[in-house]
């Protein structure tokens, strides 16, 4: 994180909010400035992540406890993704600073906020050990809902790095927690993540059965984007089972859903998503 960034925020940022569990700190000096700057990046990255990757299952950041600073303009997913890429060096620095100086809770929250960015931009080696620490923290804290979502973050990173056993194990554990919590949104997203290693290892029939369950749950919620995601993965599965007509119908439904949800990422990567692995 550049000295210029620190100087700019030191001179222009409002007084921080004092919070024992957040990133806000009172007092002066470079240590406090650094913590405020890290908090600013965490809050802004959370906002960008929600625009860029609206499909993720979220842990509440409790951002009201973070210091408020001026936020960059981000009107849509493309602008949010652009901000994440431009600020990637500072985001990585903020994560590393939190790893060295923050509490385990702060690191777990930062890891979750940045998990989508780290995964999509290929920082898999950076993400995995920090996400494992996050899972361990939420387990020790007794927060099963947060642990399940941290497991989903870990599952995605493992699967995309080629560790399909690790991806399967993390998603399966998340699925068990989701069902014990009777959380249908979390259950459907756990199945979505479980589909990835199943597809990569050729377990198409099981992948189809599970994804049909996810589609059923998502139809109950009426979430157009999530329904489209399930249609897409079911289409990919049918394609690899040799059912071309069924696959085409599902892809058409997915395309319509992505368009209705104004999700250009989903539209343009409708088939590519399957080749990448979810």
pLDDT in tens, 132-150: 999 999 999 999 999 999 9
Q: Comparing C-alpha atoms, which of 12, 58, 60 is closest to residue 36?
A: 12
By the 8 A CB rule, do 247 and 274 touch?
no
Q: How confident is the model at residue 9 (pLDDT cuts 50, 70, 90)?
A: very low
End-to-end CA distance of the chain: 32
Q: Alpha-carbon distance 237 to 246, whole Å?
A: 10
Q: How confident is the model at residue 266 (pLDDT cuts 50, 70, 90)?
A: confident
Q: What is the pLDDT of residue 21?
A: 37
- Residue 113, pLDDT > 80, answer yes
SS (H, E, C) the chain: CCHHHHHHHHHHCCCCCCCCCCCCCCCCCHHHHHHHHHHHHHHHHHHHHHHHCCCCCCCCCCHHHCCCCCCCCCCCHHHHHHHHHHCHHHHHHHHHHHHHHCCHHHHHHHHHHHHHHHHHCCCHHHHHHHHHHHHHHHHHHCCHHHHHHHHHHHHHHHHHCCCHHHHHHHHHHHHHHHHHHCCHHHHHHHHHHHHHHHHHCCCHHHHHHHHHHHHHHHHHHCCHHHHHHHHHHHHHHHHHCCCHHHHHHHHHHHHHHHHHCCCHHHHHCCCHHHHHCC
Q: Alpha-carbon distance 192 to 198, whole Å?
A: 10
Q: Alpha-carbon distance 187 to 271, whole Å?
A: 24
What value does the mean pLDDT of the chain take?
A: 85
Please give the backbone phi and psi of residue 270, each rounded to the nearest 5 degrees, phi first: -55, -50
- Residue 274, pLDDT > 80, answer no
pTM recorded for the entire structure: 0.84
Phi/psi region, residue 162 (left: phi>0; alpha: psi -120 to 50; beta: rest), is: left
Radius of gyration of the CA atoms of the chain, in A: 19
Alpha-carbon dihedral sign for residues 6, 84, 118, 108: positive
For range 31-54, the mean pLDDT:
88
By the 8 A CB rule, do 190 and 16 touch?
no
Every domain of the chain and the residues it spans: 1-107, 122-201, 203-278
pLDDT in tens, 153-208: 999 999 999 999 999 999 999 999 999 999 999 999 999 999 999 999 999 999 99
Q: Which of 1-10, 206-215, 217-226 has the lowest mean pLDDT?
A: 1-10
For range 8-22, the mean pLDDT:
34
Q: Of residues 248 and 265, which shows the higher confidence score?
A: 248
């Amino acid at each position: 994180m550049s000295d210029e960034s620190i100087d700019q925020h030191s001179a222009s940022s409002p007084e921080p909010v004092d919070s024992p569990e957040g990133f806000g700190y009172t007092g002066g000096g470079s240590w406090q400035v650094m913590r405020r700057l890290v908090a600013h990046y965490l809050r802004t990255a959370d906002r960008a992540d929600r625009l860029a990757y609206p499909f993720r299952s979220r842990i509440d950041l409790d951002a009201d406890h973070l210091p408020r600073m001026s936020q960059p303009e981000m009107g849509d997913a493309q602008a949010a993704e652009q901000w994440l890429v431009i600020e990637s060096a500072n985001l990585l620095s903020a994560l590393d600073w939190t790893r060295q100086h923050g509490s385990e809770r702060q690191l777990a929250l930062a890891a979750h906020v940045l998990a989508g960015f780290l995964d999509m931009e290929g920082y898999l080696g950076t993400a995995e050990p920090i996400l494992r620490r996050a899972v361990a923290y939420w387990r020790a804290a007794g927060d099963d809902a947060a642990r399940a979502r941290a497991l989903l973050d870990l599952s995605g990173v493992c699967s995309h790095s080629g560790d399909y056993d690790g991806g399967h194990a993390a998603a399966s554990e998340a699925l068990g927690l989701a069902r014990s919590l009777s959380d249908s949104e979390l259950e459907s997203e756990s199945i979505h993540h479980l589909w990835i290693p199943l597809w990569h290892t050729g377990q198409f029939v099981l992948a189809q059965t599970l994804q049909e369950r996810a589609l059923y749950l998502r139809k109950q919620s009426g979430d157009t984007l999530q329904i489209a995601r399930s249609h897409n993965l079911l289409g990919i599965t049918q394609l690899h089972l040799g059912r071309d007509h069924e696959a085409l119908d599902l892809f058409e439904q997915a395309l319509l859903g992505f368009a209705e949800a104004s999700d250009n990422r989903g539209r343009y990567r409708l088939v590519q998503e399957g080749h990448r692995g979810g």
